[in-house]
Amino acid sequence: MSHSNTIMGQMLQMFSRHEFQRIVKETKSERHARGFTSWNHFVSMLFSQLAGHDSLRGIEAGLATQSKHLYHLGVKPVHRSTLSYANKNRPHELFKKIFFQMLSKCQPLAPKHKFRFKNPLYSLDVTVIDLCLSLYNWAKFRTTKGAVKLHVKLNHAGYLPNFAVITDGSVHETQSVRSIPLETNDVVVFDRGYNDFKWFNSLCDRGIHFVTRLKKNAQYRVVERRSTEKYPHIYSDQVIQLTGFYSRKKCPYLLRRIRCKDLETGKIIVILTNHLHWSAQTIAQIYK
């Protein structure tokens, strides 16, 4: 654990205690603290991540074994009951503001994405986190299973998380995605779980470019066929218009259908995008 503690000490040097205390005052996170400071709470949770502890008992035991090192970090060992109370009652805005403060410092230092275009490039993805339904009866997922979903917006410049939304496990991706902020000229990549033609129309209205997989049962007509001779793994490049009764009403914009081979898996995939000008090769590489 001494190695993990060294890493934690190095990481904590990136957090200004002055700025941290300013956020504490803004969020009033010391109210009802019961002697367990916001800094102590933050360091305890950071320790749990670095040490791989996923229970209060594990965090308590792990911190106890490192008590002689904790003094230099300005914290003390904590009982799991105290940590449990703090997790339940301390305002989450404290950690939210700390995250965005650190993100603002890291993002300017992050390397750019590998493409020549200058548009910001993001990926959307979801992870299911299993929970015990008897303990978390609000986390509905299936009849006998509890879970929450973590929806993450990842910036390809440095692969830094840019935004996250946590929902009940039963909430579909198409419902949560509208709360994820996107701006004009952004390029966003996601899988078929986010397919929603009404949302696609909203992205087109706002000048946001998307790259995803086309559903197999999608109905469309081909408006234009483009040459693919330059790229042997690109089998077709078509400008299309949706023709389904509901899909065309929801998204009347012209879209682009690219059928290509995934060079890593050898599988044939069909990509859908609203960007009509970049090469099919670039679109395929973006989805990869």
Q: Are 59 and 46 in contact (CB under 8 A)?
A: no
Q: Which residue(s) pair with 210 in the sheet?
A: 188
Task: Tell me the whole-structure pTM to 2 decimals.
Answer: 0.81
Alpha helices in 13-155 (DSSP H): 17-27, 38-51, 56-65, 67-70, 80-89, 93-106
Q: State pLDDT tens for residues 127-154.
A: 998 888 777 777 777 777 889 999 999 9
> Which residue from 244, 188, 252, 194 is spatially nearest to 220, judged by alpha carbons?
244
> For residues 280 and 272, is the Cβ–Cβ distance under 8 A?
no
User: Is residue 6 very low, low, confident or very high in pLDDT (cuts 50, 70, 90)?
Assistant: low
Strand partners, 236: 259
Torsion of CA 54, 60, 66, 69, to 10 degrees: 100
Domain ranges of the chain: 2-109, 111-181, 182-288
- pLDDT score of 1 more than 90: no
What would the mean pLDDT of 67-90 be, rounded to a whole number? 87
Tell me the pLDDT tens digit for each residue of 180-204. Answer: 999 999 999 999 999 999 999 999 9
State how far Cα 69 lies from the chain centre: 33
Of 244, 182, 181, 171, the residue nearest 209 (C-alpha): 182
- Percentage of the chain beyond pLDDT 70 is 98
Q: Report the chain's mean pLDDT, rounded to a whole number.
A: 90
| SS (HEC) of 109-147 | HCCCCCCCCCCCEEEEEEEEEEECCCCCCCCEEECCEEE
Mean pLDDT, residues 5-25 taken together? 85
**pLDDT higher than 50, residue 3:** no
What is the rounded CA–CA span in Å between residue 166 and residue 181?
14
Between 38 and 116, residue with greater pLDDT: 38
Top-ranked range on mean pLDDT: pick from 11-20, 107-116, 265-274:
265-274
Closest CA to 127 of 101, 89, 153: 153
Residue tagged 């996250």 (tokens): 164
Q: What is the pLDDT of residues 239-257, one digit of tens each?
A: 999 999 999 999 999 999 9
